Amino acid sequence: MKKLVNDPKNVVDEAVAGFGAAHGDIVRVSLDPVFIVRTDAPVSGKVGIVSGGGSGHEPLHGGFVGLGMLDAAVPGAVFTSPTPDPILAATKAVDGGAGVLHIVKNYTGDVLNFETAADLAAADDIEVRSVIVDDDVAVKDSLYTAGRRGVAGTVLVEKIAGAAAERGDDLDTVATVAEKVIGRVRSMGVALTPCVVPHAGEPSFTLADDEIEIGIGIHGEPGRERIKMEPADAIVDRILGPILEDLPVTAGDKVLLFVNGMGGTPQVELYIVFRRAAEVLADRGIEVTRTLVGNFTTSLEMQGMSITVLTLDDELTTLWDAPVHTAALRWGK
């Protein structure tokens, strides 16, 4: 294993410390328990938003802490859910009196640990609502998951719910906005190579030199099928098909098209993918009015990508465009 780490046990602690040192204008970090919080938290009267999950998907979630997005992020060990303790601490740290929304990716461990933390917070008189993101159309039930997995669509939920909270919406409204995004966002991914979890030291799965996994999960969970390598356009068609079958979208609709890198794929390849995906949508009469391209929900150094499509309306577009100021996403202010 060749990785830029010291002791594999300390990867998350050292990375979070480095993140805090690099972005002290945006976040504060706590190392015991581990969480990342925006510098001005708690914002009085504002709904706090907390997300989290296993590390190794950066910039998700810590890179999205800041004005207009998350109030706090709770990173677990690599590919491992955070325990209730740091989730509770983060929830308390962002409670400005208007309640807290938990944005949870649909993995059994995450769902359970966020639920426990929410119960503990309620005992402390903090009102918590939770939404579960399950945008991955690849498989129903999987390693670590009952139902669909939550993947890159989470970024869009965090951005849009974050904007709703920032403009002063109450907890019910912010939760409703988040649910609206979840109802309209679908994703699917492909892996060209596996990745190595630092404390495991071995690839989490293997793929032959000419083989790819269609519908991969962000922890390397099995997808729909393994096939021989194909040209990029053919792969895009394979992935976009199931997304569009499932997505509530019709000709004339406007969408946000998000091409996400899994961590180890060069940017030129992501734009080749974007080009084809935009073509396919145009052919179906679907108008791409907002875009996002880059490594936003990664699986360490995995090569591959996912495509996410969100059906927009005026409200979601306005919230997407609203100012955001985080380490990984920044505009409008």
State the catalytic residues.
57, 219
- 293 binds a copy of itself per the rule CB under 8 A: yes
- 2 binds a copy of itself per the rule CB under 8 A: yes
Q: Which of 49, 151, 273, 322 binds a copy of itself (CB under 8 A)?
A: 273
Cis amide linkage into residue 33, ω under 30° from 0 = yes
The residue type found at 122 is: A
Q: Which of 27, 43, 77, 305 binds a copy of itself (CB under 8 A)?
A: 305
- 270 binds a copy of itself per the rule CB under 8 A: yes
What DSSP letter does each residue of 110-130 carry, written as one string? HHHHHHHHHHHHHHTT--EEE
What x/- string results for residues 213 through 232 when contact with a copy of itself is judged by CB under 8 A?
----------------x-xx
CB 145 within 8 Å of CB 106: yes
Q: Which of 235, 256, 286, 319 binds a copy of itself (CB under 8 A)?
A: 235
| Residue at token pair 């579960």 | 132
CA–CA separation, 138 vs 148, rounded Å? 8
**Beta bridge partner(s), residue 126:** none
Residues 127-156 that bind a copy of itself (CB under 8 A): none
| Residue at token pair 């504060």 | 28
**What are the angstrom distances between the C-alpha of 263 and each of 35, 70, 320?**
22, 22, 24
| Residue at token pair 């979208």 | 249
Q: Which of 97, 183, 201, 266 binds a copy of itself (CB under 8 A)?
A: 266
Using the minimum distance from each CB to a copy of itself, give the nearer residue, 56 or 223.
56
- 250 binds a copy of itself per the rule CB under 8 A: no
- 308 binds a copy of itself per the rule CB under 8 A: no
Q: Which of 122, 172, 225, 331 binds a copy of itself (CB under 8 A)?
A: 331
Q: Which of 275, 284, 287, 315 binds a copy of itself (CB under 8 A)?
A: 275
Residue 282 CB burial class (10 angstroms; 0-12, 13-18, ≥19): exposed
User: How many C-beta atoms surround the C-beta of residue 234 within 10 A?
Assistant: 12
The residue type found at 243 is: I
- 267 binds a copy of itself per the rule CB under 8 A: yes
Of the candidates 291, 299, 287, the one whose C-alpha atom is nearest the C-alpha of residue 273 is 291
CA–CA separation, 298 vs 295, rounded Å? 6
- 300 binds a copy of itself per the rule CB under 8 A: yes
- 301 binds a copy of itself per the rule CB under 8 A: yes
What does the block give as tokens for 220?
Answer: 């390397």
Contact range with a copy of itself by CB under 8 A, out of 65-73, 160-168, 270-278, 309-317: 270-278
- 269 binds a copy of itself per the rule CB under 8 A: yes
Q: Which residues sit at the interface with a copy of itself, rule CB under 8 A?
A: 2-7, 11-12, 14-19, 21-23, 55-56, 58-59, 63, 78, 192-193, 195, 209-210, 212, 229, 231-233, 235, 259, 263-276, 278, 288, 291, 293, 295, 298, 300-301, 303, 305, 325, 327, 330-331
